[in-house]
Chain A
Amino acid sequence: MNATHSQNLRLLERRLKWLLALRASVRLMTVWLFLWGVTVLAARIAGLPHALWLAWGILGVVPIALIAAWHSHKRLPAFATLRARYDLLNRCGGVVMSEETADTAAWQDRLPSDHAPKLRWHSGRPMLLFSVSALFAGTALLIPERLANLSGHHTLEIGQIVEQLKTEVQVLGQDKILEDKKVEDLQKQLSQVEKDSSDSDPSKTWEALDHIKESNSQAAKQAAEEALAKTTALTQAETLAQAMQQAAEAGMSQANASQAARDLAGMLAAANLENGVLKGGISPEMAADLNHLSGADRERLQQLLSALQFNKNSLDHTVSDLAQLKLIDPSMLAHCRAAGTCTNGCSALAKYLSTCTNGCKAGQMCLLLGKGGPGGGGPPAPLTWKEGSSENDLKFQQHALPPATSLADAHLVGLSRSAPQVSDNTVEIQSGALMDAQGNGGSAHAQAILPEHRQAVQNFFKRDGQ
């Protein structure tokens, strides 16, 4: 074949291959961009969380390029057919296409001048559709969120709250405060609330969440109060047991030991450890032996102490969990940890037990000792009162009282069941022209009254009353 004709033919084949690939790419890209745009738009309207939409869109180009290349390869006409078209277009009269099976060397110089055929792609419509698709996809991707949210049915951003409540329910379940079935029901209920939440009716969602929150809080408070009562009883019993150990070493009488053991058994029975939400308790054998317990039986006392400590730890753990989830007030945790603790420890009680002669009440003594007092105390004694101190010749330090308005001018605004808020004397204006200005006085202020002034204040009000 003439070298130029041969080159032109190869060039034509290459160009046609690229053109077919480009054409297939544009068509596939048009469809892909449209589908991608629809998907993105639908996802945004549905309020689905943001995903890597742009990355997905770009990722789709890879298979499109592969498919286009495959399509181009498949659609490319056979070389003999291309040669025939080349022959026709260049008016070679069949000489060029005869090269497939015949020797045409003698005619190469007589062939008409060679012109590489031109490829034309009437791309108006495909390119228009491609542009529209691209525009649509870009719009779907870049449209502001407020415009995309046309559905009017958007879920509330309550995921964090629901997760917190689920954790609370889970912890309450783990601590056996709630039954397993109840826990399961609540978890399902929370999931359903999250799923059904809608900005069209947020109050319904919030009410449901508040209800569950309240339910959790109530259960937690009930458990905490129970834990407080049980911890108090356990601590007192522990103190008494420790006192019995020490008193036995100090020579406690058998009668006192028996009495203390009965008291101890009574305290544990009153604690009612086996019942309630937070179940615990000591083993039945140990409970049965409590009435026969003596201070000298160190091993059994130690076992009892260990059992009591275990129960206390369990309760403490539960209360700590509740406090950590803020289901109860942190002060409740402190109360539980300090519950039933004798300020003087068990040494005073041990001394009492060892010295008591005419029937001592160990539990009662523990309570009395717990309220403090100098020394180890002793048997009950009558209180003696001396003469009251005179107010004559006493010099009071003078303090200016804040200006007060007459109570006659007061108006009843409302009644509060809770204690009024107490603030210091300084009032700061938070907004307006008087911002940062400070003022003092007014009936809304509470003034701390020193102990030495209390009598004067009372006298003042007595005079008003008269």
Chain B
Amino acid sequence: MADTILKPEELQPATDLARKTLEQLDRILLGRSELHRLVLIGILSRGHVLLEGLPGLGKTALVRTVGQILKLDFKRVQFTPDLMPGDVLGAHILQETASGKREMVFQPGPVFTNILLADEINRASPKTQSAMLETMQEGSVTLLGTTRALPQPFFVLASQNPIELEGTYPLPEAQLDRFLFRLLFDNVDAEVLVRIISERRRGELPAPTWQMERQQLEQLFQVMGRIYLPRPVSRYIARLIAATHPGAAEATDAVNKYINYGASPRAAIAIAEAARGHALVSGRPSVGFEDVKAVAQPVLNHRLILNYQARFDRLTTSKLVTELIDRMDETGLNLPKDVEVAAG
């Protein structure tokens, strides 16, 4: 045996930290436990998250709270059609020095932070959107031939409004693929609303009672890197991604009918990383099939390109992914249909 999986005493502190973070999030933002869990998993996976929902559902509040709890530098950019790349990345400004000389000095943009909230990212022009490509993928900014690394960790938590599409620029597939998760904000139910109304006067959020130190965050990242991914699980992830392509061996009828292009290998990597994060948050040293199932939906949500038939039939990627996961045998036992291995 080549590897040794995390020992309980190694895993437990990291799991406790993650749970504390979730407790704080759940305490501050009511009624969105599962969403908080996924956002934390996205951060642990060092991925960028696209939050999609109607105005007033708490997207900005969530990002701000995460920044507060993790004690990370947080900046917000409101994307508008006239926003230029330099407004985000930074620009060289002509300044006069004390000696009277004039020189170009780099003025960092809001992207030089740990957590960047790109609010209503789809309202910016494609030029500005594409300026985010390098920052999201490489974690650096190159201007006038000089590459400057962004502070680590660096996360982009972008939001976009699914309505009011006039005057917007939908994100291109290449940029969508760079987001680890696409999380949908749903309306909270009435009981949660009652609690919000009674406990949040004027919508003010309570301050976090506990904050994670930078060292603890590094510890979390280290433990995250040691979460073990068994071969059957990695095989399942690969089969799942392959099955999203029309004509694949395990593709369902719906996939063949409604999908033009399936998920990329980057999606497989994203699922594997996110599943590791889910296992860590769940207190397990290795990734199980249930971890993959839990993160497959947000990972694949924005990576499957549907055809017009799907739009006509009002079919969403969520339904397709759900059906695919339900129909696929995780372990690939390939037993006859009339033979079943059930729990004892």
Instruction: Give residues in A with beta carbon < 8 Å to B.
Output: 12, 16, 19-20, 23, 75, 77, 80-85, 87-95, 97-104, 106-107, 110, 115-123, 125-126
Contacts and interface: CB of A to CB of B under 8 A. Distances in A.
A23 B340 CA distance: 12
Contact of A89 (B5, B232, B334, B343): B343
B59 interface: no
Interface in B196-242: 228, 230-233
Nearest to B229: A94
Given A16-B341, A94-B287, A85 B333 contact: yes
A50 B260 CA distance: 65
A175 to B, nearest CB: 73
Contacts of B344: 89, 115-118
A102 B1 contact: yes
Given A91-B290, A110-B8, 19 more contacts: A12-B341, A19-B339, A23-B339, A80-B232, A82-B333, A89-B341, A90-B343, A92-B288, A94-B233, A94-B289, A97-B286, A101-B3, A101-B230, A103-B5, A104-B5, A106-B7, A117-B341, A118-B341, A119-B340
A19 B338 CA distance: 11
Contact of B331 (A75, A85, A99, A104): A85
B230 A98 contact: yes
Given A94-B288, A104-B5, A106-B7, A85 B341 contact: yes
Contacts of A117: 341-344
19 contacts: A81-B331, A84-B233, A89-B344, A93-B284, A93-B286, A93-B288, A94-B279, A94-B284, A99-B1, A100-B232, A101-B1, A101-B231, A103-B5, A117-B341, A118-B343, A118-B344, A119-B342, A120-B340, A123-B338
A107 B335 CA distance: 30
Indicate the member of B7, B233, B332, B343 with the most A CB atoms within 10 Å: B343
B342 A120 contact: yes
A95 B333 contact: no
Contacts of A16: 335, 339, 341
Interface in B293-344: 330-336, 338-344
Interface in B1-22: 1-5, 7-8
The 9 closest A-B pairs by CB, nearest first: A115-B344, A94-B286, A84-B232, A94-B288, A93-B284, A102-B3, A93-B288, A84-B331, A122-B338
B5 A102 contact: yes
Contact of B333 (A23, A77, A91, A115): A77
A110 B284 CA distance: 10
A114 B230 CA distance: 20
A58 to B, nearest CB: 27
A90 B343 CA distance: 7
Kindly state the interface size class of chain B when it binds its partner: 35 or more
B47 interface: no
Nearest to B337: A122
Contacts of A107: 5, 8, 285
A118 B342 contact: yes
Contacts of B78: none
B335 to A, nearest CB: 7
Contacts of A99: 1
A84 B342 contact: no
Nearest to A27: B336
B187 interface: no
A197 to B, nearest CB: 52
Contacts of A82: 331, 333
Contacts of A102: 1-5, 228, 230, 286
Contacts of A122: 338-340
B142 interface: no
A97 B232 contact: yes
B107 interface: no
Nearest to B4: A103
Nearest to A102: B3
